[in-house]
Chain A
Amino acid sequence: MPGLATQVERYSVVISIGGVPVRVNTTDADFLALLQDRYAGFVSEETQAEFDFDVDLAAPAFVDPEAPVSVKHRAGRWFMERGDFRAEWDPAARRGWIRQTANPYSIDAVLRIAHSLVLARQGGFLLHSASAIRHGKAFLFAGVSGAGKTTISRLAPADATLLTDEISYVRKLDDDYLAFGTPFTGELAKLGENTSAPVAALYLLAQGPENRIDPVTAANAGRELLANMLFFAQDQEEDREMVHWAFQAACDFVHRVPVYRLTFIPDARVWEMIG
């Protein structure tokens, strides 16, 4: 008599970004291979994870990666939604699920959101910025799309280690800030190195007729940092804590880390001014 139940194969991969291992579980071997390829360099051999996500590969009933993301906090759980995925995450249980098609973009968005929420409680943040390590120190280059994040990354000298050309990962450890490499890429389409270094400076990017570095007032630094932080709180009572965390994180950061305006022309000599 044939068995009434079919055992479903379960595959897992631990993706460690910013030193935070996240295990992703799937029943689809092809999707596992896709993840291993997408996050190459960030796949960890660790068996322990900070939290787990079970991925349910749903039929592509709706696919609109351009739809705005929605993140809501209800009764201790986070609900995330975009045109191409739905996800729920319970930080206390350290588990969550993602319903998406077999593509790398949806889980990328969920990981960015989850990491930003984890970081917020610890005084850290994800930032729209390129970052690189040189001489043992990390430098962040923040700006909106078109400000020059990818350009400054392309111009980096051979002795610089690129952490990302799009989204930087900043953790607060005691009184120091560390920048970690991320697999979140911009136009360069090149994964960052999975390494870290203390943050020495944040440069606010502007393109101009010459290379120059100008001081920035603390208030302007705070304003611009907040403007470039990945921040998912919405206008809800439950998000009040998140707003306070993000605000305090930005204020603490500009209090401890030098912030400058970096105006540059697309020329490698700009790196002679950095460090």
Chain B
Amino acid sequence: MKMNRKLYVARSPRIAARMLGEEMLVMSSRGSTLFTLNPTATILWQAADGATPLEEIVQRRICSEFEVQPEVALRDAEALAEDLARHGILLISEEPIARPEAPVQEQPQR
């Protein structure tokens, strides 16, 4: 996708997710596949409310966490979001995404 377009990301309702220790585990009902998200993907997942533009998530959550140029961070985040969308973990759109249902509950774990 081209830059300069506003992108919105939302958590797929077909995913169950939990933070276990320092790692975010997500399980897709598509093939019962289990994924472990890296720190950046975890931030993206947690912030993916369907209403906040990706650019804003990157500025507020990723650039503040990692030493990275905003343009680079946005480009990487777009690639990551598309990768997560390919795996059915995130929904991605150029329009705000209405949540089809309540988000899967996440609880801090040991």
Contact = CB atoms under 8 A, between A and B. Distances in A.
Contact of A255 (B16, B36, B110): B110
Interface in B2-30: 14, 16, 18, 20-23, 25, 27-30
B25 A251 contact: yes
B20 A219 contact: yes
A251 B20 contact: yes
Contacts of B22: 217, 219
Interface in A244-273: 244, 246-248, 251, 254-255
Contact of B104 (A218, A219, A231, A244): A244
A122 B31 CA distance: 22
Given A233-B32, A239-B29, A248 B16 contact: yes
Interface residues of A, number: 21
B68 interface: no
A235 B31 contact: yes
Contact of B14 (A217, A218, A240, A248): A240
A239 to B, nearest CB: 6
A235 B31 CA distance: 5
Contacts of A246: 27, 32
A140 to B, nearest CB: 18
Contacts of A233: 29, 32
Q: What bracket does the count of chain B residues touching chain A fall in?
A: 20 to 34
Interface string B64-86: 00000000000000000000000
A74 interface: no
Nearest to A219: B23
A235 B104 contact: no
Contact of A217 (B21, B28, B107): B21
Interface in B57-110: 104-105, 107, 109-110
B34 A226 contact: yes
A222 B25 contact: yes
Given A223-B34, A248-B16, A243 B23 contact: no
A251 B18 contact: yes
A217 B23 contact: yes
Given A218-B110, A251-B25, A243 B20 contact: no
Give the 5 A-B CB pairs with smallest separation, nearest first.
A219-B23, A218-B21, A243-B29, A218-B20, A247-B16
Interface of A: 217-219, 221-223, 226, 231, 233, 235, 237, 239-240, 243-244, 246-248, 251, 254-255
